Amino acid sequence: MTAPVPRRLPDPESLLADAPLVWAALQTAGWSAAALDELLGTTARTHLDRDELAPLLRRTQGGSVLEVLARLFVLGTEVDLKQAHAAGVPESWLVPDGFGVAAAVRLQTVVHGGVEVLVAHDPGRAADGVHPEQVLGVGAASLTLAAATPRRTVGRTLDLGTGSGVQALLAEDHSSTVVATDANPRATAYTRLSAALNGVQLDARTGDLLEPVRGELFDLVVSNPPFVVGPAARYTYRDAGRDGDDLCRRLVAELPRHLVEDGTAVLLANWLHVEDEDGDARVCSWFGPDVDGWVVQRELAAPEDYVTAWLRDSDEGSRFDELYDAWLDWFALRRVEAVAFGVLALRRGSGRVHLDDVPQPVAAAWGEQVEAFFARQASPEQGLLATPWRLRDDVRLHQVARRTEDGWYAEAQVLQQERGLRWSGGVDVYGATLLAGCDGTRRLGDLLAVLAGSAGLSEAEAAEQVLPVVERLVQQGFLVP
Ligand SMILES: C[S@@+](CC[C@H](N)C(=O)[O-])C[C@H]1O[C@@H](n2cnc3c(N)ncnc32)[C@H](O)[C@@H]1O
């Protein structure tokens, strides 16, 4: 089997003029995330990712205008020219395909936090071969960044490495101005196209990293950069193409200069764990002395697993073996033991950097935790005992109890957050009682005094037992001031 040959890519710039006609066609057909879910089923994305078109073709055989548009822009299959015209798709957006026509680009509807956006991106599935300059649709990494982005209303937002423009469009909903940059001119053209399809204004600029915004300040910066660490720069959308994890290090070093005083940057990153080095310390060392940072480590992959995952992602066909060996040799030469993936958040500050290992499933939107993290850093230290803590509203206590002669005996109690990073952790009966009293009106020290009395402990003994737990609960956001 030979590697699939990348197809010729469309020119998104040439589609811009007729974007309003396509927008009108979509509106007339009732195009929306909900309508597409109803038509294609909620598993449509999984079918598309696996190249399984049959279930989707069966669901779109009725010939309605929405079905024709879905075949063109979601499935990427051929339709009859007359059908395409009847659906209102302009000639400029069509290419000959078999006995009919296909759409020049794909459209993807994304819903995040109640905001719906439509992005345009290149056609081509992994099985057809990924082009080095391919502009991809919205994938798992895109959604990871969207989930981590604070959605507070701000003035100026920068989306660095904008691709299809998805982050820029989501940010447009809560920003006065959005600047979207990318090194790939095809990506900035797609971002303009996506903006036109959403009827919004974005300032899309082409250039390397922060070059296009030299000297400019932002309230919010989001970036899903090409963070993948490896020997070659094969794909612009994916490969850092600099030595090791240097691209992410450089971004962390340079981004603070582009933030206003209380501005926040959130980016995805990979960082290396190298033999005889502390990988956590490595990423934490990227943050300068005038920056506060939060590292949310989501995964730690062995080199073999990392390389396999990324080679599968671009479906390298028969080149798999050759590329796998070259990539692993490259890691071995650099004594790489593992590659970490996570979200890095930073603000101007005073060099306080904290790393959390967060392997658990998290909420689809947890950007408010980024704000809460920096608020904790900034708030004057009152001391744990002097603060009237409040248990966050979404925290639940799960109990496992065994029946005894005296009734139910609680064997284990687990606190679980329903939102945010969905931390969970065990507490004993005393801890649970104490937390039940944390309603934001009573100081922890007063609650602890009552608890110590009922447990027959001195206040000092009770504090010694409870304070380390409370500290963790504050850090993980169970308790808020
Ligand atoms: C992983 S994609 C992210 C796309 C989109 N923001 C998302 O979240 O789905 C990375 C993007 O960074 C762009 N890029 C690659 N190298 C870059 C560089 N040196 N400077 C700016 N952008 C770059 C790529 O062209 C690609 O569009």
In a 10 Å sphere around its CB, with 0-12 CB exposed, 13-18 middle and 19+ buried, how is residue 189 labelled? buried
Query: Average pLDDT of the chain?
Result: 93
Q: Quick one: which H or E segment has residue 455? A: helix 444-455
Q: Which of 333, 344, 323, 355 lies closest to 275 in space, CA to CA?
A: 333
Query: What does CATH list as the number for 107-378?
Result: 3.40.50.150
Distance CA 293, CA 295 (A): 7
Mean pLDDT of the 434-445 span: 93
Query: By the 8 A CB rule, do 4 and 317 touch?
Result: yes
Mean pLDDT of the 178-192 span: 97
- Measured from the Cα of 240, ligand 1's closest atom is 16
The alpha carbon of 225 and the centre of ligand 1 are apart by a number of angstroms equal to 5
Query: What does CATH list as the number for 390-480?
Result: 1.10.10
Given a cut of 60, whether residue 155 has pLDDT beyond it is yes
Given the structure tokens 């040439």, which residue do they identify? 14
Query: Which pLDDT value is given to residue 125?
Result: 64
- Measured from the Cα of 159, ligand 1's closest atom is 6
**CA dihedral in degrees (307, 312, 315, 318; nearest 10)?**
60
Distance CA 474, CA 265 (A): 23
Query: pLDDT tens digit string along 365-382?
Result: 999 999 999 998 877 667
Tokens of 157: 């937002």
Residue nearest to atom 4 of ligand 1 (CA): 163
Q: Quick one: which H or E segment has residue 303? A: helix 303-313
Distance CA 392, CA 442 (A): 15
Which segments of 219-284 does DSSP mark as H helices, in order?
A: 246-254, 279-284
Decide: 150 in ligand 1 pocket, CB within 6 A. no
**% residues pLDDT > 70 (the chain):** 97
Query: By the 8 A CB rule, do 226 and 237 touch?
Result: yes
Mean pLDDT of the 60-80 span: 96
Mean pLDDT of the 193-201 span: 95
Which of 122, 142, 184 to mutate to test ligand 1, by most ligand atoms within 8 A of the CB atom?
184
Given a cut of 50, whether residue 120 has pLDDT beyond it is yes
Helix axes 444-455, 429-436, angle to 10 degrees: 140
- Pick 46 or 151 by higher pLDDT: 151
Decide: 170 in ligand 1 pocket, CB within 6 A. no
The alpha carbon of 474 and the centre of ligand 1 are apart by a number of angstroms equal to 35
Q: Which of 301, 148, 160, 311 lies closest to 223 in space, CA to CA?
A: 160
Given a cut of 60, whether residue 29 has pLDDT beyond it is yes
Tokens of 229: 């660490």
Query: Which pLDDT value is given to residue 5?
Result: 46
Query: Which pLDDT value is given to residue 381?
Result: 66
**% residues pLDDT > 90 (the chain):** 78
Query: Which pLDDT value is given to residue 313?
Result: 81
Query: pLDDT tens digit string along 32-47?
Result: 999 999 999 999 989 9
Query: pLDDT tens digit string along 240-279?
Result: 777 779 999 999 999 999 999 999 999 999 999 999 999 9
Query: By the 8 A CB rule, do 318 and 1 touch?
Result: yes
- Pick 313 or 185 by higher pLDDT: 185
Mean pLDDT of the 420-435 span: 90
Query: Which pLDDT value is given to residue 98?
Result: 86
Distance CA 20, CA 413 (A): 57
The residues, ordered by sequence, that sit 6+ positions from 479 with a Cβ below 8 Å of its Cβ are 389, 390, 391, 392, 435, 438, 470, 473
Query: pLDDT tens digit string along 101-115?
Result: 999 999 999 999 999
Tell me the domain boundaries of the chain.
19-104, 107-378, 390-480
Tokens of 190: 């797609």
Query: Which pLDDT value is given to residue 135?
Result: 94
